[in-house]
Amino acid sequence: MDATSGIGVLVCPELGFSTYCLTSVERARACARWETAIVAWAGRVARYLNAHVAVGHAREDPETQKVYNSQTVVDANGVARHVYDKSHLYCVDEEWGCGEGKGFETYELDLRCFAEDDRGVIGEVTRRVTCASAICMDINPYKFEAPWDAYELANACAGCELILFSSAWTNAHPDDDIEVKRAPIDFAETVTYWLARLRPLIGKREPNGTHFICANRIGVENDIQFTGCSCLVDLRSPPILRGAMEKREEGIASALIPLGGEDDDDDDDLARRVSSFISTAVT
């Protein structure tokens, strides 16, 4: 995969360069010292692909010394365009004193897309796309105490085109019995749960839809399995699974996602309807 692959956005998992179970603030600070190197790696990949890259990492605030579980999005020039800190902390985050983020927000990125009209492909274009970042537990009710139908993440993403979701989703809670932790991973069950938590977005941006771009890690830590199940889901009604890694193995899944149309007033003929697509990938 290189710049000729046409990838517009690449999303990587939560804390993908370290263990997820950091266990102590000292270990978290040690991981945070790699932030500059990790973001630089994302920048090199972004320049190589001519794409935006979203990467998960630990981040220490230089003023407060708080350590956060973060996602940084860099552009095709390797420049950081957005930094998001996880807002809904899981018990594993709380164990090492993770700082709580300020909440969900949308932002805009100028992404590399493809355009076509009824006469065929026009070529590559740059399009401003409304995005949101989220990390794993963010999709759940806050502290598992908020009402299920509060749908904090989904409601914050209303009007959003892409949700860039870095995750370390597991099949069990740390306090579960070993039999539960060793249970086989069910891809359909995992993705169906995520969709249930995004219910307010399903069918709300017709005809184009919001798109859920999820990169979830694999492997085992402390006997708990990470589920994998990285996927690219079009949240129109009914939702469309546009790409996925159903097997628990390292790899890349990609898909071409429709972003809808815009009027092209520069055409010699009457204004025509131009549809744009973005090629997305998850690791």
Average pLDDT over all residues of the chain = 89
For residue 272, pLDDT over 60 is answered with: no
Q: Which of 111-115, 184-188, 208-212, 247-251 has the lowest mean pLDDT?
A: 247-251
Q: Count of CB atoms within 10 A of residue 120's CB?
A: 6
In this structure, which amino acid lies at residue 176? D
Cα-based distances in Å from 46 to 76, 100, 245, 263, 269 = 5, 28, 22, 29, 37
- pLDDT digits 0-9 by tens, 108-121: 999 988 877 666 65
Nearest in space to 248 (alpha carbons), one of 208, 219, 283: 219
Model pTM above 0.75: yes
Region 140-164 average pLDDT: 96
Name the region of 2 (left: φ>0; alpha: ψ -120 to 50; beta: rest): beta
Q: 173 is in which domain, residue-wise? A: 3-282
Dist. CA 45–CA 218, nearest whole Å: 21
Report the CATH number that the domain containing residue 212 is assigned in CATH: 3.60.110.10
Domain count, the chain: 1
Q: What is the pLDDT of residue 167?
A: 97
* Lowest-confidence region among 30-34, 81-85, 245-249: 245-249
Contacts of residue 19, defined as CB under 8 A and 6 or more positions apart, other chains included, come to 221
DSSP-assigned letters across all residues of the chain: --GGG-EEEEE--TTTTS-S---SHHHHHHHHTTHHHHHHHHHHHHHHHTSEEEEEEEEE-TTT--EEEEEEEE-TTS-EEEEEE--S--HHHHHTTPPPP----EEEEEEEEEEEETTEEEEEEEEEEEEEEEEGGGGSPGGGTS-GGG-HHHHHTTT-SEEEEEE--BSS-TTS-HHHHTSPP-HHHHHHHHHHHTGGGTTTTTTT--EEEEEE-EEEETTEEEE---EEEE-SSS-EEEEE--SSS---EEEEEEEEEEEETTSSSS-EEEEEEEEEEE-
Q: Is the pLDDT assigned to residue 149 strictly greater than 50? A: yes
Q: How far apart are CA 67 and CA 199, in angstroms?
A: 32
Task: Give me 83's structure tokens.
Answer: 């930094």
Between residues 246 and 72, which one has the greater pLDDT? 72
* The pLDDT of residue 209 is above 60: yes
pLDDT tens column, 16-29: 999 999 999 999 99
